[in-house]
Each structure stands twice: as C-alpha cells, then as structure tokens.
Amino acid sequence: MALARAHAIALVGVQGHPVEIEVDIENGMVALLLVGLPDTALREARDRIRSAIVNSGETWPTRRITVGLSPASLPKRGSGFDLGIAMAILAAAESVPAAALYGLVLIGELGLDGRVRPVPGVLPAAAAAAAAGFDAVAVATENAAEAALVPALRVVATPSLSAFTAYIRNGRRAGDAGVQVLEPGRDLSSFYPAMHDAESGRSPGGSRAAAAAGAGARSRTSAGLAIAAPAVPAGAKDLADLVGQPVARRAAEICAAGGHHLMLLGPPGVGKTMLAERIPTVLPRLDPAAALEVSAIHSVAGTLPPGRPLLVDPPFCAPHHTATRAAIVGGGSGVIKPGAASLAHHGCLFLDEAPEFGRDVLDGLRQPLESGEVVVARAGVTARFPARFTLIMAANPCACASVRTAGSACGCTALARRRYLARLSGPLLDRVDAKIEFLPVRRAELLSDRAFTEPSAAVAERVRAARLRTAARLAGTPWRLNAEIPGSELRRRFAPAAGALAPLERAMDLGRISARGVDRVIRLSWTLADLAGQPRPGAAEVGYALGLWLGIPQ
C-alpha cells in the first residue's frame, strides 16, 4: 500500500482543528516533501522523523515520500505532528496496519532516538478530537494526565515510537509494557478535589481541619451551580495582613464578589501590592468547567505546572511594567500565544506601577475588558483567547512617589502629577469599577484597626455567599457574575428598586459620570445588595457604588 492516512490536531488560539495527514510513497528521487502550510518547526520534522524511525528499529522507505496536511489552507505550527506523520509513513510502507490508525488522533514530538516528547496544548487538542468524533488519542506519557481530562476519549500514553508501533501491531491492545491505556468514561469530579489538594500543597487525606473545610467547601444553588470556597493553607497570604486600610479591604471584598475591576492609588508602602496579592485568597475555587477552560489556556501557553494538569484555583498574573503588548494581550511573530490577560482568565490581572506600562499596552486591554476575549488577527488566521479577568491596577500619585504631607520632600507640581496619571487614559479608567485612594497610616490607626481586620477565610465565606445569590438570580443566563451582565439587561431585567437611582441621576446631570459608568455603578450596587443579602439594591447601595466609581472616600 503506497497511500495511508493518520490524524492530528492543529491549534489556532485555544481552538483545535482536525488535520488529516496523507502520505504517498512512490518511485522517484529519494526525498520527503511536506505540503500544507507547515511552519519552520514542522518543516524540520523531516529530519527528526527519519532519525526517529531508523533508531526505533524500523525501515525507512528509500523512495519519494509526499506528506500532505489537509485542510491545506489552515496554518500548521509546532512539532506535535511528528508522531502522526511517522505513523502514516510506516502505514504507507506497510510496516504497520493502516486500518489500526482509524479513529485515532496522534499528538507528540519525536526525539532523534524515537522518544515521544510532550507538547503544549494537549488539553484543547484532545477536546477538539472528541468533538470531531474521534474515540482515542495517543500522546506522550507526560501529557497523559492532561489528555485524560477529556473523559470521552481513550488515552494512549506512549513513551516511544517503538512502543507505539508494537501497540498498533498488537491490534491496539496494551501488550507492550511501555504503553498505558486509559479507557473512556472517566469522571472529572472524582479527582477534582484531590487535584485541588495537590495544588494547595496538601495530601488528599490531610488534617481534620482540611477535611472539614473540604466537606463544607461546596454548596449548590437551585440551578445546580456549585461554588466552592477556597482552602487557605497555613502560612499563606491573608487579608488580615493589611492593617490600617479598612476602606480598601471592603473594596477588595466587593470586587471579589462581583468580578469588578479595581484601581489602587497611593504612595509607596501603604499596602497597594499587599492588597492585590491577597484578593485571590478570598475568591472561590474554580468550578470544573471553568477549571478546564483555564487549564486549556495554560496548556497552550505551556505554563501548566508539572504534574498538575488541572488548575482549580483562580489564576493571578502580575506582569512587569516592561512587558510588551504581545506579552499582555497575546500574539507573537510565530506561534500565536495567549498573553497575561488570557492567562488571568477567571482570575486576577495585576498591573503594579500601571502608569509605567506602555500606553499602547494599557489601551490594548480596553477591548477585552468589554468583550471578555482577545482577538489576535494575523494574515490568514484569527485566534481567539478567552480573557474575562478582574483587572487590578496600582499607581503612585506622582513620578517621585513621595508622600504629600507636612514636611514632604515631594516637589512635583499639580501639572506634573496630572501628567503622570494621564498615562492611564480616560477610556481605560472609565472601565474600572472601583477607585480607591490609599492614605498614609499613622501608628494610632495601625493599632486601632487591628481589632477590625478579618482573615481571608471569613471574607471568602461572604464572597461565596454573595456569588451564590448572584448565581441563583442569573440562573438560565450566560452570565455568572454581576460584572458580566450587559447594560441592556441591567435596564430591562435587573433594574434597582424604585427611586434608588436618584444619586446616579444627579451625577449624570452634573456630567460627572458617563453612560458606561452608569452601567458599572448599577452592577456594583447589585454586588453590594448580594453581600448584604437584599433582593435588589436601594439608594444606599447605589450611592456607595457611585462613590467607589468616582473614587470618593466612603
């Protein structure tokens, strides 16, 4: 047989597309031709595959080999096609039965010695294979746990090309000791708590306190949506560490409950970074669907921690202010990779020293803040990455960052301070729901506020309860948080109580708030109502939310 077929997956963003690998062996000048829009890494597969086949004890066909990747119009990038091309060549040379490759997707890079090496993006690739109707996927042993998160697929974990060819010749039965087969029908929820325990640094059968926390971590709404409370390990960062800033702690709780964006303004040393780093400690852990979505993004980016294929805690990304637009938003000159905005999906994106970021970098976040996704367009391909995150920005009041008090060394003029903060464009700040100004804390305030600080566990319980109320109200809709509700639905289905918008109407008449800001204030007021256990926001909630949006101390 001179013609054989195998299948692989090409990733565009986090979307997988089935690719048919056709191999034709004919008489002619000895060569390996690769067609179908391969990139540089894929063109180099010719030398890798030949060495891998020969060093695996197989015979390399000394004829003209043509490898076609279909659809030809779809760009193919990366080294994950090596295993599929090698098996299609062996099938065309009648070294392995071609029929045994039907219904099987092959994903893996080959080493020169025939080892099957792991590649990024296996989770979305396996999900795409299952959606396309394939019943099995073959991956490197290191990628097996990641592919196993798709329960509808049989996962074949192979360490080498020789082990996999033996598996194929054996009728796809795991007779070779090196090949492991995970049968379909796996239940993701069965190992989801254990994965969380591993990610939190605990064993599944940890202490009594941890077991009690795990037993009470999950609650259900009438819609059947589960929201799990986070379990904070001993010695971890805690919201109670921030002393002397009660308004900021309250704003962090509100933003965590509703998924609202937060701006922190103040001199150095007042706790801006401390607060931002502790917001994830009050967020609920991800539900299984969100965990799979987040894990797929990190799989494509190659940032999944070793041995942890499923991320169950909300991600926290804090890029340096020298990061480029592609590093924050996504893109790249070769393979399109997700940026920090997508890596923070369902979590927090923290921009410390926000005015020091490039103006184009900050303005590049305006579109994902509205739509919840990043669209990267290149010639011939458009990639989409989910990017629904909570934005947290921190900034000093001026370039010298000195405290403006009696005897201060700050010599910045009012114009210089305005010019420094003007690096944050008005349209970007218009999309920020809450703006908090940190003031220097004196010793008496530090001592008195210690009695009112609460640990992250107590705040997280209120956040979880508020999100449960939100989930019950939004049951049957595509939204899960108040920050995600469109403005049209706010006015039609989720209007506040009669007369509650009076403070907002006065601000509009004075020109102090935009139409977009009105929607964001109403969303904030709904979160305040959920935290207070009220059926809908009143004038007090709307007034408080307006003060947060304007940056007026409460």
| SS3 sequence of 59-126 | CCCCCEEEEEEECCCCCECCCCCHHHHHHHHHHHCCCCCHHHHCCEEECCEECCCCEEECCCCHHHHH
Residue 285 and residue 430 share a domain: yes
Residue 440 and residue 349 share a domain: yes
Neighbours of 150 (CB within 10 A): 23
Exposed (0-12), middle (13-18) or buried (19+): which is 220, by Cβ within 10 Å? exposed
- Written as six digits, the tokens of 172 are 């796809």
E strands present in 163-286: 180-182, 218-220, 226-228, 262-265
Residue 79 and residue 125 share a domain: yes
Is 334 among the domain residues? yes
pLDDT at position 227 is: 60
Is 195 among the domain residues? no
Residue 172 and residue 313 share a domain: no
Cα angle for residues 129, 134, 140 (degrees, 5° grid): 60
- pLDDT by residue, tens only, the chain of 554 residues: 589 999 999 999 899 999 999 999 999 888 999 998 888 778 888 899 999 999 999 999 999 999 999 998 888 888 999 999 999 999 999 999 999 999 999 999 999 999 999 999 999 999 999 999 999 999 999 999 999 999 999 999 999 999 999 999 988 887 766 899 999 987 766 556 545 554 444 333 333 233 333 333 333 333 344 565 554 454 578 999 999 999 999 999 999 999 999 999 998 889 999 999 999 999 999 998 899 999 999 999 999 988 888 999 999 999 999 999 999 999 877 778 999 999 999 999 999 999 999 999 999 999 999 999 999 988 778 899 999 999 999 999 888 877 555 455 677 888 888 888 889 999 999 999 999 999 888 888 888 888 889 999 999 999 999 999 999 999 999 999 999 999 888 888 888 888 889 989 999 998 899 889 999 999 999 999 999 999 999 999 999 999 999 987 65
Going from the C-alpha of 318 to that of each of 249, 277, 352, 503, the distances in angstroms are: 20, 9, 7, 36
Exposed (0-12), middle (13-18) or buried (19+): which is 278, by Cβ within 10 Å? buried
Q: What is the pTM of this model?
A: 0.88
- Written as six digits, the tokens of 294 are 């987040």
Residue 59 and residue 117 share a domain: yes
**Do 520 and 552 contact (CB within 8 A), yes or no?**
no
Give dist(CA 436, CA 420) in Å, integer.
Answer: 17
- Tally of domains in the chain: 3
What's the one-letter identity of residue 305? P
* Domain ranges, residue 22: 3-182
pLDDT at position 213 is: 36
Is 226 among the domain residues? no
Exposed (0-12), middle (13-18) or buried (19+): which is 161, by Cβ within 10 Å? buried
Helix (H) or strand (E) holding 517, with range, is helix 515-532
Cα angle for residues 313, 319, 320 (degrees, 5° grid): 150
Is 297 among the domain residues? yes
Is 215 among the domain residues? no
Q: What residue has token string 């037993």?
A: 215
Boundary residue ending a domain (161, 182, 203): 182
Half-sphere exposure of 224 (CA within 13 A, CB side): 2
pLDDT at position 190 is: 56
Beta-carbon contacts of residue 347 (< 8 Å; ≥ 6 apart): 280, 283, 294, 314, 315, 316, 317, 389, 390
pLDDT at position 39 is: 83
Residue 415 and residue 320 share a domain: yes
Is 361 among the domain residues? yes
Helix (H) or strand (E) holding 247, with range, is helix 246-258
Q: What is the 3-state secondary structure (H, E, C) of 272-295?
A: HHHHHHHHHHHCCECCHHHHHHHH
pLDDT at position 173 is: 83
Give dist(CA 282, CA 530) in Å, integer.
Answer: 16
Give dist(CA 66, CA 352) in Å, integer.
Answer: 52
For residue 420, give the CATH number of its domain.
3.40.50.300
Neighbours of 58 (CB within 10 A): 19
- Give the CA radius of gyration of the chain: 27
Residue 499 and residue 437 share a domain: no
Residue 404 and residue 318 share a domain: yes
For residue 9, give the CATH number of its domain.
3.30.230.10
Residue 274 and residue 413 share a domain: yes
Residue 490 and residue 433 share a domain: no
**Do 542 and 506 contact (CB within 8 A), yes or no?**
no
Residue 502 and residue 433 share a domain: no
Helix (H) or strand (E) holding 443, with range, is helix 443-449
Q: What residue has token string 């998160």?
A: 149
